[in-house]
Every structure is written in C-alpha cells, then in structure tokens.
Amino acid sequence: MKGSILTLGCKVNQSESSIIEGSLINIGYSIVGLDDHPDFCIVNTCTVTAKSDYQSRQLIRRAIKSGAKVIVTGCYAHLRPEEIIKIGDNISIVNNNKKLSIIDMLASKTISYTLNYSSRSRPYLKVQDGCNFTCAYCTVPLARGKPISINIHDVIRQAIDLEASGYNEIVLTGIHLGLYGYELIPKVNLSDLIKSILSKTKIKRIRLSSLELNEVDEEIIELLQEERICKHIHIPLQSGDNKILKLMKRRYNAEDYASIIERIKNKIPSISIGTDIIVGFPGEDEKEFTNTKVFIESLPLTYMHLFPFSPRPNTLALKMPDHVPHKIKRERVAELNALNIKKQRTYLSLQVNKSLDIIIEKKDDKNITLGTSSNYLKVMIPSNRYVKGELIRVRIAGIEKNMLKGYPI
C-alpha cells in the first residue's frame, strides 16, 4: 500500500510525522508523493497563524484531489474540525493527543512504533509536548494541552537508536522545550536530560530547538559550551518594547532579554542566536515599533523569524483594541527584514576562513552538496561524493547565494 504524509508547522509536528512514516515503512508501506497516486494521505496541520490555517486547507484539498483516503490531524484539525468537514467528504479527523493512533488505524492492528527513523539528516527527537503559558496571541496551549514530558530513560533509548542508525545529530524538540520534566516525578529539568544524553550516548551533535528566555539559566549556558552541543540557540523575543511585551503577557522585559543575550555571547562569542518577532501586535504604534527596531539593532542576533500579527480565535489579543492595519504590518515586516538580512550577512562574513563541521543534507544536479553547521548555517561544497547524514569538516572560502561556500578539509 502507498501513502503520502504532508506536514506543516513546528519541529514537534515534523517529529510526529517521522514516527508515523517510519512505523508504516517498517511494516511494508511505501511513502510516496501525491503525484504517485497514494492510497491514503495524512495531512499534519498547523494553526499558529491564519496563513497556517490557509495552507492546511490547501494541502487537504490537494490530498482530496489525488483520490487518496484523507486523514487530517495536527493543531488546525484539533481546534477547527468543523472547517475541515466543509472542505470535502470522506475525511477522517484525528486529534493531536491521538495522532499516533493513525499508525494502528492504517495497519488494522496494534504495532510497535518506529522511533529511530527520519527522512531528515538531522532527526527531531520530541521530548516534550504541551504548554501552560497564556501568551495573549497564542492558541497552541488549546491545541496541545498541558505540559507532558517523555521520561529520561525513553529519550536516551531513542537517542541511542538514532545513533545506531547512523545519525550524527539529534535535535531536541518540544512545544515548550524549557518545561521538560516540569510534571515528572521525581522532578527533572532540561539540563538533567542534556547531561544524561551527553553521558549515556556518543551522538556527535545535540541541538536544542527554541527555548523561552526565562528557561535559559546559567546551567544551560554552561552546557552550551560543551563540545557536542551545537553552538546555536533560538530564543523568541516577540517585541523589543516593554508595553507590547506586557500586552502579549510575556514573562520578561527587554532589559531581561538583553542581559541573557549578553551573558550567552560573553561565554560563547561564536554562537548563533536566532529569535522570533511578531510585527504589528495590537497597540503597536510607530513609537513601539521604533523601540523594537532600535532594540534589535543593539543585539548580537544572527537571524530573525518575522511574523505579521495574526489574530487567532479564542485569544485575548483578538479582542484587544488598536489593531494595526495590514498595510502597515507589511511595511514594518519589510523594514525589519532589511535589518534581518544585514545581520545574517554580518554573521556569515565572520565565518570566512574558518573551519566548520557540517552534516550533509542534500545534493543538487550541479555537483553541489549542501550541509548544516553546528552554528546553524547552510554551507555548500562543490562535491557530490558525500552521503546524506555524513559529518565532515570544511574550510569556508566565501559567501554565495546567502550561504557559505566551503571546501572539504
């Protein structure tokens, strides 16, 4: 039997889709594209923005047109199943908390999940789910529920399995990764998990996905200095204006953020630091936007993910006054993107003549191989003799097409 799996959204969604894909392959199913006339199609949706909702509906329509049996899951399906039902007939909807039951549904029996498979060179290892924050703009806690952590022993077992399968990097991910262990008994934290992976596995690179500012403590900063921990961290800012941060119900101010970033950079000068920015949150006037822009300019950030504010159902922000017009949001995103490009280029230029270790991710038709460095940069090398997932060292010669260009050492 042939099937397709289409995934939108966060690394947790990607990780869950990998478990489904690997488990189905393990029992003899073929995973193909929609053009290959699959018997079924799983659409793993996202609802973080209105654009995500739209993209989810588009994928569902594409899946229906393929003639496949369509199974829809993910956050959009969990929160707005009534919208999905209107798209077409014969759609099965599976809630987030029962997502992996799709495997048993398709196999017509209970099977053991495959946890050591990924179509990526750098597999996502989900260690946590859920969130108990109440940010004014976010529906994720509604879709994912309260924090749930995978116990350390199970995480270690998965990491060892991935290592044995030949992967050289794992990406620890969760809906709210910094809450890892919050509800476990006995209570543990993310630092405990990282130390266990370091001591009980030999996986060559361990990457942390997004962490909230208040969860980046001295222990995390010390662990980031470990050789096997990737020199990359993503810490959402959302706004550089304290009034807007308060309206967003974020749990820090701009000064707190700057202090943590400074401490990280002082300890690890070469580290890549990324962030998220929401542009045009209700109440963001020209003054607040300028404060954000000036604040970002002052920070040693490597890159930004920019999102125009998207009002979501059942959130506090939806009912707030002073919503920013779409035209102004687009203009502000463009202004910050120019700054983003400048910061990215500055950081890229600092890598020239340095040696970086990269994981091979893909090849193109022009004898070019692409990889990802520990500090989360894309590097292309003029060779196709390396295999996907291989870890190699390269000397960076320059910048081309907003990527680094290097040569194997």
Where would I find the beta strands (DSSP E) of 235-271?
Answer: none
Whether the per-residue pLDDT at 204 is higher than 90: the answer is yes
Question: 154 pLDDT band (50/70/90 cuts)?
Answer: very high
Give residue 286's pLDDT.
Answer: 98
Calpha distance 224→172 (Å, rounded): 13
What does the pLDDT average to over 397-409?
95
Task: Identify the burial level of 409 via C-beta atoms within 10 angstroms of its C-beta, where 0-12 means exposed, 13-18 middle and 19 or more buried.
Answer: exposed
Give residue 249's pLDDT.
Answer: 98
Task: Give the model confidence (pLDDT) of 259-272 as tens digits.
Answer: 999 999 999 999 99
Task: Give the model confidence (pLDDT) of 210-223 as tens digits.
Answer: 999 999 999 999 99
Cβ atoms 189, 196 nearer than 8 A: no
Using DSSP's 3-state secondary structure scheme, residue 164 falls into helix
Mean pLDDT of all residues belonging to the chain = 97
Question: 366 pLDDT band (50/70/90 cuts)?
Answer: confident
Helix segments in 66-173, DSSP class H: 75-79, 81-85, 101-107, 140-144, 152-164
Q: Note the pTM of the prediction, 2 decimals.
A: 0.96
CA geometry: angle 111, 114, 115, nearest 5 deg:
140
* Cα 105 from chain centroid (whole Å): 27
Tokens 């040569």 appear where? 407
What are the φ/ψ torsions at residue 367 (nearest 5 degrees)? 60, 30
What does the pLDDT average to over 51-64?
97
Q: How many CB atoms lie within 10 A of CB 399?
A: 14
Whether the per-residue pLDDT at 190 is higher than 80: the answer is yes
**End-to-end CA distance of the chain, in Å?**
44
Cβ atoms 182, 217 nearer than 8 A: no
| CA nearest to 42, candidates 86, 145, 23, 116 | 23
Task: Give the model confidence (pLDDT) of 116-141 as tens digits.
Answer: 999 999 999 999 999 999 999 999 99
What are the φ/ψ torsions at residue 249 (nearest 5 degrees)? 65, 35
Give residue 148's pLDDT.
Answer: 97
Give residue 367's pLDDT.
Answer: 87
Calpha distance 407→225 (Å, rounded): 26
Residue type, 307: F
Sheet holding 2-7, edge to edge: 30-31, 2-7, 40-45, 69-74, 91-93
Question: 280 pLDDT band (50/70/90 cuts)?
Answer: very high
Question: 78 pLDDT band (50/70/90 cuts)?
Answer: very high
CA geometry: angle 98, 210, 292, nearest 5 deg:
125
Give residue 90's pLDDT.
Answer: 85
Tokens 């899951």 appear where? 73
Question: 89 pLDDT band (50/70/90 cuts)?
Answer: confident
What does the pLDDT average to over 302-316?
97
Task: Give the model confidence (pLDDT) of 167-177 as tens digits.
Answer: 999 999 999 99
Whether the per-residue pLDDT at 306 is higher than 80: the answer is yes
Calpha distance 405→407 (Å, rounded): 7
Calpha distance 247→276 (Å, rounded): 17
Give residue 384's pLDDT.
Answer: 84
| CA nearest to 282, candidates 244, 330, 253, 312 | 244
Percent of the chain with pLDDT over 70: 100
What does the pLDDT average to over 176-193?
96
Sheet holding 232-234, edge to edge: 232-234, 272-279, 303-308
